[in-house]
Structure 1
Amino acid sequence: MNTRILTTLAVGGLLTATAACGAQSLDAGDSGDSGAAASAPAVVLDQAPAEEKAADVINAITPDQELAAKAPASLKSGGLKVVSSIGYPPMELYASDGKTPIGFDPALARAIARKLGVKVTITDEEFNSQIPGVLTGRYDFVISSMSDTPERQGQVTFVDYVQAGAALLVKKGNSAGITGPGDLCGKTVSVVDNGSSMELAESYDADCKKGGKPAADILKFPGDTEAMLQVSNGRAQASVTDYVVAAYKAADPKLDMEAISLDGTASPWGIGMKPDNKQLVDSVKGALDSLIKSGEYGGLLKAWNLDALAVESAVVNGGK
């Protein structure tokens, strides 16, 4: 959807991965040419942050030597450059230090990097800046709870990594009596600008108008946190968002919110890359398939209680 790494964060928002004690070398256990190995420095793989729920799974991932050999040279020399939008839990959030990203998307980015035997850096950008950043070559890929849609496929090539649906987030007690899209007519709804949730909200608004009912007032914001704040402060009666995020928020008693699942909204979320970078697309697809086959992908999902989002294989541009 929106809808939005890696162990050390620079002040300007740039996240740079660093090697922790016990980090694994790509050359470990290599039985190849010892002379060649000696001439090239070992790649020390990044360790996951301590507060990352999937840290144990990530840190146990070893490079797939065949995939690593076929990875783009730019990844081997400069690392994997990733963009995301932090602040969309449980997909992307900060650890208690307010700087270190954790969550499923950062976990998968780390896992892919380790599977390819490369280091990784991630920049936190607002949602609308992510695809342009990939197209200009500033980033290798975006992983930010982004729905794989035909429209976006005209800009980037996706490798789909989860299947997720949408939901409404309302105040606990639901005094506005909202149970589904039909109840949004005449109500104020907050969304992330230019995401699939905005498209859903606009379609619900169109249905209201077609049915001769009052239009929905749609408030658009650059990030999910700002959109959900409108429900908390009473400016909006509901926020359209991803179900995983709504459920995560509803589980926090301090937020005093409820999640309402929207049937028929499940769609793939993808890792977006520049279409002409086929070598990178193949590398990311291969890494994800390897993680799925090994069970490591399932371990990442389980750590964040997201088992229901699992895909059986890495599909390219599966959004319809």
Structure 2
Amino acid sequence: MNRMLLVLAALAVTGAAHARTLDQIKKSGTVTIATEGAFKPFNYFEGKKLTGFEVELAEAIAKQMGLKVKWVTQPFDSLLIGLSQNRYDFVIASHGITPEREKAVSFTSPHYCTGGLIVARPGGPKTGAALAGKTVAVQVGTTYLENVQKVKGVGDVKTYPKDPDAQQALLAGRVDAWVSDKFLALDAIKATAGKLQQGDLLFQEKIGMAVAKNNPTLVTGLNSALAAVQKDGTYAKISQKYFGQDIRCK
């Protein structure tokens, strides 16, 4: 059992019997949301300001629900642990919806669809088959790690605390390839001006907001608010700002 599965198993046992319900959150007037803050363009800091697609989307959802927002940022692989300890109400941090994670937390409807893109330096591996015997960089605790480990014949899989660390390992030549979110990777490829090249999409996934188990009213409330901002054009406006396209699941 790998580290992620151990963490998820612990979360499933811990549970979240005292998570705040939607009514309790509305009564307080403020929803506490957690994210990583190091996953550009989804959630990241510009100086001291937390911003990004998911940050703006979550704030639009909260506004739709009539709530103010309090943000919490912490490392990606501890976000779901904090959720199980009721340190915040929900998490929006590009978590892929997987059967393993669904044993530990509840997910909202997907707020975007993406996949794991292979990135390499010019001449490097660009397909799943080409990863055989190669060293691949991924962020710890992610679905990228899980899916790269499933590739037949893959060589060493190196994990890094943050995704930019994995990218830098590739740029520095310490690894042969990097697998990350499609949109994040495309942004990085564009920013490096020819130093990195796009490979194949290794897998596809749906991304959702995570809510503590046994808190169905909050899931319902978030789903309703997400649908509302998608219908009134707010979602499309935010998505166009960061990606030049609408990234909702089709």
TM-score normalised by the shorter chain: which range applies?
0.7 to 0.9
- Specify the code of the residue in structure 2 equivalent to 1:165: G
Contact 1:140 1:273 (8 Å CA) reproduced: yes
The answer for the alignment partner of 1:135 in structure 2 is 84
The answer for the alignment partner of 1:291 in structure 2 is 229
Contact 2:36 2:75 (8 Å CA) reproduced: yes
Partner residue of 1:93 out of 31, 44, 47: 44
Structure ranking higher on relative contact order (CA contacts 8 Å, 6+ apart): 2
The answer for the alignment partner of 1:257 in structure 2 is 196
Greater displacement, 295-304 / 246-255: 246-255
Distance in 1 (alpha carbons) for counterparts of 2:146 and 2:50: 28
| Corresponding residue SS for 2:94 | coil
The answer for the alignment partner of 1:223 in structure 2 is 162
The answer for the alignment partner of 2:242 in structure 1 is 304
Distance in 2 (alpha carbons) for counterparts of 1:272 and 1:283: 13
Query: Is 1:269 the counterpart of 2:207 in the alignment?
Result: yes
1:242-253 equivalent positions in 2, closer than 5 A: 242-253=181-192
CA apart distance, 1:260? 1.8
Total equivalences in the alignment: 229
1:151-162 equivalent positions in 2, closer than 5 A: 151-159=100-108, 160-162=110-112
RMSD: 1.8
CA apart distance, 1:75? 4.0
Distance in 2 (alpha carbons) for counterparts of 1:157 and 1:81: 17
Query: Is 1:195 the counterpart of 2:145 in the alignment?
Result: no
Deviations 1:152-175 (A, max 9, x none): 00011111211111101222xx23
| Higher Rg | 1
- Specify the code of the residue in structure 1 equivalent to 2:234: E
Greater strand share, structure number: 2
Distance in 2 (alpha carbons) for counterparts of 1:220 and 1:186: 16
Distance in 1 (alpha carbons) for counterparts of 2:172 and 2:126: 20
Contact 1:243 1:261 (8 Å CA) reproduced: no
Contact 1:162 1:268 (8 Å CA) reproduced: yes
TM-score when normalising by structure 1: 0.68
* Structure 2 gap ranges (5+): 1-20
The answer for the alignment partner of 2:3 in structure 1 is none
Contact 2:96 2:206 (8 Å CA) reproduced: yes
1:226-237 equivalent positions in 2, closer than 5 A: 226-237=165-176
CA apart distance, 1:259? 2.2
CA apart distance, 1:71? 4.1
Contact 2:236 2:246 (8 Å CA) reproduced: no
Partner residue of 1:281 out of 219, 224, 234: 219
Aligned CA distance change for structure 1 residues 192 and 232 (closer, same or farther; 3 Å): same
- Specify the code of the residue in structure 2 equivalent to 1:301: S
Contact 1:92 1:102 (8 Å CA) reproduced: yes
CA apart distance, 1:254? 5.6
CA apart distance, 1:197? 0.3
Aligned CA distance change for structure 1 residues 306 and 201 (closer, same or farther; 3 Å): farther
- Specify the code of the residue in structure 2 equivalent to 1:74: I
- Specify the code of the residue in structure 2 equivalent to 1:288: L
Distance in 2 (alpha carbons) for counterparts of 1:89 and 1:296: 20
